[in-house]
Amino acid sequence: MEAEMSQFDLDAFTDDESPEASVYTDGGCDPNPGPGGWGAIIRWAGREWVLSGNDPETTNNRMELCAAAAALALLEGMLGRCQVTLYTDSQYVRQGITQWISGWVSRGWLTRSKTPVKNQDLWRRLHRLAQAHDVTWHWLEGHAGHPLNERADWLAREARRALYRGPGAPDARQPDGNDRPMVEICVKSSGHGAGGWGAVLRMGQHARALSGQAPAATANAMLIRGATEALNALNRPCQVTVYSDAQYLIKGASSWLKNWQSRGWQTRDGKPIANREEWEALLAAARPHRVNWLLAQGDAIPADLAWAGELAAAAASEPEAAE
């Protein structure tokens, strides 16, 4: 029994005028000091903005500061004073802004040993921007699997790599213009008896559940179909993050597909790719959107993934519809 597949009406979920935003930042160099990049992800009222920038000669700490300052500056310019929850994997940034900066200011931007504070230009800017908002600062362990921290890290690395691309490379100092609605999708499948899939689409505090089944379908085929149907349910181009705990879907969509297509939909051994029709349908469904495929594991498992699993199991256990 296939679920009703009316579209996920994004217009109904953009009424929240509360200026409460979440920010995820990262930055770094390779080597340090040396060429560096920073990235920031801003989420507000079901929307997402992505920022990145670079510098040919800088330090890890300066890039971390740039990411936080750029995000707060954008919020100030677009929304005014906000309630901001900012996540950084830099103890230098978090401790500096929450513990050290009051002493620096009282001493005229000198340390306790009466030496000038390093990166004073950026600290002064961040200090002013932090006062322009109500900011709660959180530290996240870097490279620990948190999806948005990993995305911010990827943005920072891509911005740094842009320095080596020569003329014609995108200007990583500028926002990418991404004002598309932000949607998260969690997808699971069940292979008991008939195959079933479940998907949960979330935009801010609003969620929608979808599910379906197919006779004698594999769990892998159902995973792909679930992601496809969820993407097809969106009624406009979106910034989408798809979560699954199945490497087959996440690695397939994010990296293997390109190789399969280049080999004419064959494996390295020359065998036909399984579930080709499903993969081609997923490609078509993803085309209007900007999709990030994230493997949910450890502490980075969204709560909606369990809901998607329940939907998939229920769909698989439903009696098959009569012809």
Q: Which residues are catalytic?
A: 26-27, 64, 89, 143, 153
- Alpha-carbon distance of 197 to 188, in angstroms, equals 6
Torsion angle defined by CA atoms of residues 56, 61, 63 and 68, in that order, rounded to the nearest 10 degrees:
-160
- Of the candidates 92, 77, 112, the one whose C-alpha atom is nearest the C-alpha of residue 25 is 92
Q: Supply angle C-alpha 221, 215, 267, rounded to 5.
A: 30
Our measurement of the distance from residue 31's CA atom to the centroid of its chain's CA atoms, rounded to an integer in Å, reads 26
Does residue 285 contact residue 232 with C-beta atoms inside 8 Å? yes
Instruction: Please name the amino acid found at residue 13.
Output: F
Cβ atoms of 236 and 290 within 8 Å: the answer is no
Burial of 227 (0-12, 13-18, 19+ CB in 10 A): buried
